[in-house]
Amino acid sequence: MLVIDLPGSTLVSVEEEQQHRCSNMAGERALAVKVRHSTSNLADANTDMYNTSDLVLRRGQSFLLTLEFTMPIEDWQSIVFNVQTEPLTAFTCQLFNIKHVEFALSNSWTSGMWCAVLESRPGNNLQIIMSSPANAIIGRYNISVSISIMGETTTYSLGKFILLFNPWCLDDDVYMANEDERKEYVLNDHGIIFMGNEKHVSQLGWNYGQFENNILNICMDILDRNLNYYNDPVSDCSRRNSPVYVGRVVSAMINSNEDFGVLEGKWDKDFADGVDPNSWNGSVEILWSWQKDDYKPVKYGQCWVFAAVMCTVLRCLGIPTRVITNFNSAHNTDGNMNVDMHYDTEGKFLEIHDDSIWNFHVWNECWFLRRDIGYFYSGWQVLDSTPQEESQGVHRCGPTSVIAVKEGDVNLGYDTPFVFAEVNADRVTWIVHKDGSKEKAYTDSKFVGQCISTKAIGSDARVDVTHNYKFPEGSPQEREVFEKASQYMSFYKTPLEITNFSHSTVESRTRDEQPAQPTPALTARSLLNPLLTSYTGNTLPSIPERNTLPPVDERNTMPSMSARNGLPPRPGRNGLPSRSERNGLPSRPGRNAFSPERRAFSPGRNAFSPERSAFSPERRPFSPERRAFSPERSAFSPERSAFSPERNAFTPERNAFSPARRAFSPDRNAFSPESSAGHAAPTIPDPEIPDISGKFKILGPLVVGDDINLILLLKNLTPFHKPIKVNLSASCILYTGRRLADIFTDQKSLVISPSQDAHVSVQIPYSQYQECLNNGNRIQVVALCELPVGNKVLITKDLVLENPPIYIKIRVHPVVAVLKKKMKFVSLVDPTRRQIRFRNPLSVPVKDCSLLVEGSGLVDRQLTAVVPFLKPKEKIRFKVELTPYRSGTKQLIVNFRCKYFSIKGYKQLDVASS
472-503 per-position pLDDT tens digit: 998 999 989 999 998 888 776 544 443 333 33
Give me the catalytic one of 37, 190, 331, 361: 361
- Main-chain phi, psi angles of 402, to 5 degrees: -65, -35
Is-cis flag, bond preceding 399, omega within 30? yes
- Distance (Å, rounded) from C-alpha 215 to C-alpha 189? 12
Residue 410 has pLDDT above 90, yes or no: yes
Average pLDDT over residues 151-170: 90
- Main-chain phi, psi angles of 679, to 5 degrees: -110, 95
Residue 548's pLDDT band, with cuts at 50, 70 and 90, is very low
Residue 663 has pLDDT above 90, yes or no: no
In terms of Cα–Cα distance, which of 710, 782, 713, 704 is closest to 742?
782
Q: Which amino acid is at 665?
A: S
Q: Which of 215-219, 237-241, 600-604, 844-848 has the lowest mean pLDDT?
A: 600-604
Average pLDDT over residues 368-377: 96
Q: What is the mean pLDDT of the chain?
A: 76
Give the pLDDT score at 453. Answer: 98
Give the pLDDT score at 395. Answer: 94
Residue 368: strand pairing partners: 379
| C-beta of residue 347 within 8 angstroms of C-beta of residue 784 | yes
- Main-chain phi, psi angles of 152, to 5 degrees: -115, 135
Residue 627: partners with Cβ closer than 8 Å, 6 or more residues away: 633, 634
Residue 826 has pLDDT above 60, yes or no: no
Higher-confidence residue: 743 or 604?
743
DSSP-assigned letters across all residues of 9-38? ----S----------BTTBS----------
Give the pLDDT score at 742. Answer: 93
Average pLDDT over residues 401-425: 95
Average pLDDT over residues 457-483: 95
Higher-confidence residue: 109 or 340?
340
Give me the catalytic one of 115, 169, 237, 303: 303
Average pLDDT over residues 251-276: 92
Average pLDDT over residues 508-524: 34
Give me the catalytic one of 173, 276, 384, 426: 384
Q: Which of 301-310, 646-655, 786-795 has the lowest mean pLDDT?
A: 646-655
Classify 112 in phi/psi space as left (phi over 0), alpha (psi -120 to 50) or beta. Answer: left
> What CATH code is assigned to 179-515?
3.90.260.10
Q: Which of 442-451, 495-504, 592-601 has the lowest mean pLDDT?
A: 495-504
115 noted as active-site residue? no
Residue 339 has pLDDT above 60, yes or no: yes
| C-beta of residue 645 within 8 angstroms of C-beta of residue 615 | no
Higher-confidence residue: 604 or 113?
113
Average pLDDT over residues 632-637: 43
Give the pLDDT score at 93. Answer: 61
Residue 578 has pLDDT above 60, yes or no: no
Residue 558: partners with Cβ closer than 8 Å, 6 or more residues away: 589, 590, 592, 593, 671
Higher-confidence residue: 50 or 30?
50
The Cβ of residue 364 has, within 10 Å, a number of other Cβ atoms equal to 32
Average pLDDT over residues 318-347: 92
Give the pLDDT score at 834. Answer: 60
Give the pLDDT score at 54. Answer: 87
Residue 432 has pLDDT above 60, yes or no: yes
Average pLDDT over residues 543-554: 36
Residue 427 has pLDDT above 90, yes or no: yes
Average pLDDT over residues 558-585: 40
Give the pLDDT score at 869. Answer: 81
Higher-confidence residue: 825 or 768?
768
Give the pLDDT score at 585. Answer: 40
Taking the domains of the chain in order of start, what are their residue ranges?
Answer: 2-164, 179-515, 692-800, 807-912
Residue 680 has pLDDT above 60, yes or no: no
Give the pLDDT score at 90. Answer: 56
Side-chain half-sphere CA neighbours of 906 within 13 A: 23
Average pLDDT over residues 827-848: 68
Q: What is the DSSP letter of 573?
A: G
Residue 717: partners with Cβ closer than 8 Å, 6 or more residues away: 689, 690, 691, 692, 693, 755
Torsion of CA 244, 245, 248, 249, to 10 degrees: -150
Give the pLDDT score at 346. Answer: 84
Residue 645 has pLDDT above 60, yes or no: no
Give the pLDDT score at 255. Answer: 96
Residue 647 has pLDDT above 70, yes or no: no
Q: Which CATH class is domain 2-164?
A: mainly beta
Q: Which CATH class is domain 807-912?
A: mainly beta
pLDDT tens for residues 761-793? 999 999 999 888 887 899 999 999 998 887 789
361 noted as active-site residue? yes
Residue 754's pLDDT band, with cuts at 50, 70 and 90, is very high
Give the pLDDT score at 88. Answer: 65
Give the pLDDT score at 347. Answer: 86
- Distance (Å, rounded) from C-alpha 75 to C-alpha 26? 17
Q: Which of helix, strand or coil describes residue 100? A: coil
Give the pLDDT score at 370. Answer: 98
Superfamily of domain 692-800: Immunoglobulins (2.60.40.10)
Residue 428's pLDDT band, with cuts at 50, 70 and 90, is very high
Residue 685's pLDDT band, with cuts at 50, 70 and 90, is low
Domain 2-164 matches domain 807-912 at the CATH topology level: yes
The Cβ of residue 702 has, within 10 Å, a number of other Cβ atoms equal to 17
Give the pLDDT score at 596. Answer: 41
Residue 881 has pLDDT above 80, yes or no: no
| C-beta of residue 46 within 8 angstroms of C-beta of residue 12 | no
| C-beta of residue 392 within 8 angstroms of C-beta of residue 358 | no
Is-cis flag, bond preceding 377, omega within 30? no
Q: Which amino acid is at 410?
A: V
Residue 803 has pLDDT above 90, yes or no: no
